[in-house]
């Protein structure tokens, strides 16, 4: 009887430390997955292994590597480079986020996710250079056959959550084909939050493909004692209304990172 009681208490104690990787998605009424890498313990924490390896368009999370490629190719000198808005200066013509349709620095375009600015950079970079650096970096499936300039939003180019995390680990370790200077610029631009305990670097993404909404939040939390890399991807049918879709990319991630003690 005593042995059974000890086993029961031990199981209860262990379960108290287990991470709940499912409920945060259910609370948001969304399907998807979170892929985390605990750097210190060399441990993968994955809510859905199959989904973590499934490729979809990276949407605006592509701005992470896109910024590096723009810097490395000399398309821009630094994050303060200005991208000229090619459209009308009459912002009343733009019903959705009219404040982003203006001449804008690359840094601000990254932070507010002004996709048009990175489309303009992509036109200057060219597909051959993208193919070269994406292959060297080991990012994505290499399929750049999409005709549109923003191949990261539409078409067959895809990346998995696990691949996103693997690339961020390379960035952190300085093992990318990009110069230290350019990686340092990226790290500054990626900062979302900085406290006495941690620095959060991340980028959101959202695209609409084949009747589906695909939402991402990708990044890493750096603490003195450890670093946690993450890629969260959520999906839903566009026909299903969910006003919290955008916010849930972050709330799901933060919930689980807090369970791990990362935040």
CA distance 153 to 58: 7
- Of 171, 179, 186, 175, nearest to 227 by C-alpha is 171
CA distance 43 to 35: 11
**Residue 125, both tokens:** 């970079």
DSSP state of 159: B
CA distance 179 to 133: 12
- Of 28, 32, 20, nearest to 160 by C-alpha is 32
> 105 catalytic, yes or no?
no
Q: State the burial class of residue 154 (Cβ atoms within 10 Å of its Cβ: 0-12, 13-18, 19+).
A: middle
Q: Which is catalytic among the residues 52, 60, 113, 160? A: 60
CA distance 215 to 165: 16
Q: Can you give the length of the chain in residues? A: 263
Query: Is the CB of residue 227 less than 8 Å from the CB of residue 40?
Result: yes
Catalytically annotated residues = 60
């Amino acid at each position: 009887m005593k042995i059974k009681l000890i086993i029961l208490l031990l199981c209860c104690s262990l379960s108290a430390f287990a991470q709940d990787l499912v409920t945060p998605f259910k609370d948001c009424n969304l399907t998807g997955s979170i892929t985390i890498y605990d750097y210190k313990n060399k441990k993968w924490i994955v809510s859905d292994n199959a989904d973590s390896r499934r490729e979809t368009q990276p949407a605006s999370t592509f701005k992470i590597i896109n910024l590096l490629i723009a810097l490395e190719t000399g398309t821009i000198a630094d994050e303060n480079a200005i991208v000229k808005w090619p459209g009308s200066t009459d912002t009343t013509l733009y019903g959705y986020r009219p404040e982003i349709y203006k001449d804008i620095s690359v840094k601000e375009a990254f932070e507010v996710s002004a996709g048009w600015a990175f489309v303009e950079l992509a036109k200057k970079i060219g597909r051959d250079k993208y193919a070269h650096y994406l292959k060297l970096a080991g990012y994505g499936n290499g399929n750049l056959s999409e005709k549109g300039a923003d191949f990261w939003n539409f078409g067959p180019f895809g990346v998995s959550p696990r691949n996103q995390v693997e690339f961020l680990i390379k960035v952190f370790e300085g093992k990318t084909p990009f110069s230290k200077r350019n990686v340092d610029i990226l790290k500054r631009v990626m900062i979302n939050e900085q406290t006495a305990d941690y620095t959060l670097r991340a980028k959101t993404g959202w695209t609409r493909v084949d009747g589906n909404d695909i939402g991402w939040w990708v990044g890493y939390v750096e603490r003195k004692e450890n670093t946690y890399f993450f890629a969260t991807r959520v999906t839903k049918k566009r026909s299903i209304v969910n006003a919290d879709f955008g916010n849930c990319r972050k709330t799901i991630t933060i919930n689980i990172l807090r369970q791990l003690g990362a935040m």
